[in-house]
Each structure stands twice: as C-alpha cells, then as structure tokens.
C-alpha cells in the first residue's frame, strides 16, 4: 500500500500569499496524483489531475508539480475563496490512498 504524507496539516496565510502544500508518496507513483478542494458541507472539487494538469474551470492561480514520490500543490495570490480543506489522492495502485489533508485559512 502506498502511504501519502501530506503537510502541513494546517496553514494560515495572508491574502495575496503564495502557499505550498506537499504530498510525499512512500513509493514511486509516476504522475498518478490528484488534488482536491473541499469546503464544509459541499462536494469536493477536482483541481489538479496527473500531478500537473489544471482541471478545466479551475482558476490558474492553482498549479501542481512533481513526479514519482514528491508532489506539491501551489496556490498563487491566495484569496478568501480558497479557504478550504485540500487533499491529495494517488491512483497508481490499489488500494487508492489519500493524504491526511490540509486546512487552509486566511489571517
């Protein structure tokens, strides 16, 4: 089973900041990494697919990078709309596994 270690668990940012969320896999998963945004009471939204591809309709301030074992979600010019819980998912091998999530708040 591939373990995903996501960090930080909590992030407090100032509007306009650039923030980075990391997800490290315990084994090579190529680019089979997705990122999601979840707001309380709402369905999670797919934001980054295959590690680096922005899902259509997602603002370009979101970006993903990485390959193999180390992945990063970056939010440029963060604003109030981005306050949410973010999590990663690896779909390289069964069982699919998730990062523990990052709660992003604004100062």
Partner 1 sequence: QVQLVQSGSELKKPGASVRVSCKASGYTFTNYPMTWVRQAPGQGFEWMGYINTNTGNPTYAQGFTGRFVFSLDTSVSTAYLQISSLKAEDTAIYFCARVGEVATGVDYWGQGTLVTVSS
Name the phi and psi angles at 81, rounded to 5: -65, -20
45 to 64: interface string for partner 1, x by CB under 8 A: xx--xx----x---------
Q: Considering the complex, state which of residue 39 and residue 77 has its C-beta at the smaller distance from partner 1.
A: 39
The torsion of the CA quartet 41, 45, 47, 48, rounded to 10 degrees, works out to: 110
**CA–CA separation, 7 vs 21, rounded Å?**
6
Of 67, 69, 79, 91, the one binding partner 1 (CB under 8 A) is: 91
Which residues contact partner 1 (rule: CB under 8 A)? 32, 34, 36, 38, 41-46, 49-50, 55, 87, 89, 91, 94-101
């Amino acid at each position: 089973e591939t373990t995903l270690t996501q960090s930080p668990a909590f992030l407090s940012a100032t509007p306009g900041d650039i923030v980075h969320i990391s997800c490290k896999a315990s084994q090579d998963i190529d680019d089979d990494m997705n990122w999601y945004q979840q707001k309380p009471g709402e369905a999670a939204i797919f934001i980054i697919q295959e590690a680096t591809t922005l899902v259509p309709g997602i603002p370009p301030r979101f970006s993903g990078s990485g390959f193999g074992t180390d992945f990063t979600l970056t939010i440029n010019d963060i604003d109030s709309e981005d306050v949410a819980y973010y999590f990663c998912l690896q779909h390289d091998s069964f069982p699919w596994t998730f990062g523990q999530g990052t709660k992003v708040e604004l100062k």
